[in-house]
A and B are shown apart, each in its own frame.
Chain A
């Protein structure tokens, strides 16, 4: 009774014995966990699959309607886990790198594919025998190949045959939103928008144009449709930056030409501020991703219900919107890869995609869904999405793309701040900052190796 832990004597032998039992117990934990995991699933395509994803409004119909429908049609149980974007990126990468088997399917941003495929975080869908629906729009489908089918390739993968590592599930792409009060027809070129802005915009609103100006990804998303439409490239096929060219400088000068018709604080605007200006009816037009389609007719958030139409982003030489698909890969340590494959084949089938498009006008990935007259009559943005995907230009396929985007986005933001302050000298500002970004990207890629 009185032999409490505090009064007990400890010898080296008793310590050693306790330590050995403890170590044996700890060593057995992974084996026990593995046994538990494998007992709940099978490799036959039945059983259960676990889908992990980041939170996004575009995923709501997928989660609330189609995951449940898959279970009712196939009997395969689906566990759906979602978290915020940054946490999910780390979580999925750790799961795949260590093959922990916590997930079968990762929902990803398409710029994760190079890193996840090259690092074997996800497995080849081709090797799993995945059947690709030929109805899927090619530009969306191509986002899932590694190495990429077209464009610049890293040296380590230059001779490798492209394999499908991820399959697109939502074709998110930039489209043009324009207010019909100011544009009777869709503006075709940037010049059309500039003319309307000059004629109809006023200081304090309505503004001719609104944009995301914050450093990094936001301002790059503003710049890319301009750059691509002027015939420029983010990178050329030899990985040399393509934006410090006459086309790239011209595209940035075009953005600066909107300065008299944009809100004066645009350099600090992210999506929320840019979109608010538009939804308050205080802006003629802007380019944004497809999520805005669902807000423009929501009377609780929008003063422009029924006034907004959508089209592919304006052309100069061509239309060239940026694409940023939601894309799914099968985890390298997936407990049920055949079940995962079955789910992805089912969801990307033409019939299910048509139903997906018909659920709140979701950005489906098949041509038939986006052009179905019964659906497009209800959801007017779907043809614009199809058009934009077909014209879209992908960002560089490399794990170093975020760094490249950060460098370009920082210098673009500096250029915009300088242009807003000076209100002149746009050409030299654009030339100087784009050259600086190009030099920094070139130096970074050289340091990383495998490019130039």
Chain B
């Protein structure tokens, strides 16, 4: 009797956790597992026709377009995250200095990230359009003529980076401003009293204390940037050529345009592995960083 009562008591917490566990498995683990299974299947005419082993992985890794898309994604993410971090930090430092109308500044700065990515894509397409856009006339004022931002590989790539910076610097700003506002003021005031310059205070005190928040912001933004799709799909469709074709666009096309679901899932699994390795390295670097044990 006692044993049975103990067993029923012990099951209680698990029963309460069951709905959440089932929901998590249904929306997160099952799709992931299904994707991994799909990556070793061969699809034809939309049908799952045979086991493919590692064929999809081999074909994907031999696909020059996929490798190019990975390289483009890496360049895009690196450029966007670096610029957005620097700009976001700069803006956060500025707004944190008790400026007049700080709340208005905050609202103004975060506005771009409240716009839906598809709308952002359409907006910037109008800005860059060579016939009716304002980009070409504005550059013309500075003596730069006939650029046609979306008309060549380099300018189109820089154009999509600029769009991303415009849209997502506010996120970095918001996270870093929150981080700055939680920093203890005493060490900073002590450093100033001891005669440290503003630059020394920033590098010796603010930055080390802000490091955990900075790390979270960079990781969040990196993961988000890797999955960028809507804006670029609307703006360039990955062109000219393949110059702005990010991994996400190529994987989407492979799955839903070329109906090669197996290959598309192999691409996703490969990217997942790359991201996990990078995340593990990043976490380790933070743990090994100065001031940590």
Contact = CB atoms under 8 A, between A and B. Distances in A.
Interface in A401-426: 402-403, 406, 410-411, 413-414, 417, 420-421
A3 interface: no
Contact of B8 (A11, A86, A263): A11
Interface in A222-277: 263-265, 267-268, 273, 276-277
Contact of B253 (A263, A399, A406): A406
A378 to B, nearest CB: 33
Nearest to A94: B46
A119 interface: yes
State the 8 A-B residue pairs at the shortest beta-carbon distance, nearest first. A265-B130, A119-B45, A215-B239, A414-B241, A268-B150, A403-B258, A118-B45, A11-B8
Interface string B14-47: 0110000000000000000000000000001111
A214 interface: yes
A414 B151 CA distance: 10
Given A263-B130, A268-B130, A414-B241, A115 B11 contact: no
A72 interface: no
A265 B131 contact: yes
A421 B146 CA distance: 11
Contacts of B8: 9-12
- Which of A97, A417, A420 is most buried by chain B, counting CB atoms within 10 A of its CB? A417
Contacts of B9: 9
B259 interface: yes
B59 interface: yes
Contacts of B5: 9
A193 B121 CA distance: 35
B129 interface: yes
7 contacts: A121-B46, A263-B131, A265-B131, A267-B150, A267-B240, A406-B253, A406-B257
Contacts, number: 103
A411 B65 CA distance: 12
Contact of A268 (B16, B44, B129, B258): B129
Nearest to A265: B130
Number of chain B interface residues as a range: 35 or more
Contacts of B258: 400, 402-403, 406
Given A90-B256, A115-B46, A267-B151, 11 more contacts: A9-B5, A9-B9, A215-B240, A264-B146, A265-B148, A267-B148, A277-B131, A402-B259, A403-B260, A410-B242, A421-B152
Contacts of B7: 11-12
A86 B11 contact: no
Given A10-B11, A11-B7, A402-B258, A216 B151 contact: no
Contacts of B12: 9-10
B68 to A, nearest CB: 11
Contacts of B131: 263, 265, 273, 276-277
B130 A417 contact: no
A159 interface: no
Given A10-B8, A86-B256, A420-B151, A216 B46 contact: no
B106 interface: no
A119 B47 contact: yes
A439 to B, nearest CB: 11
Contacts of B129: 265, 268, 273
Contacts of B240: 215, 267-268, 413-414, 417
A447 interface: yes
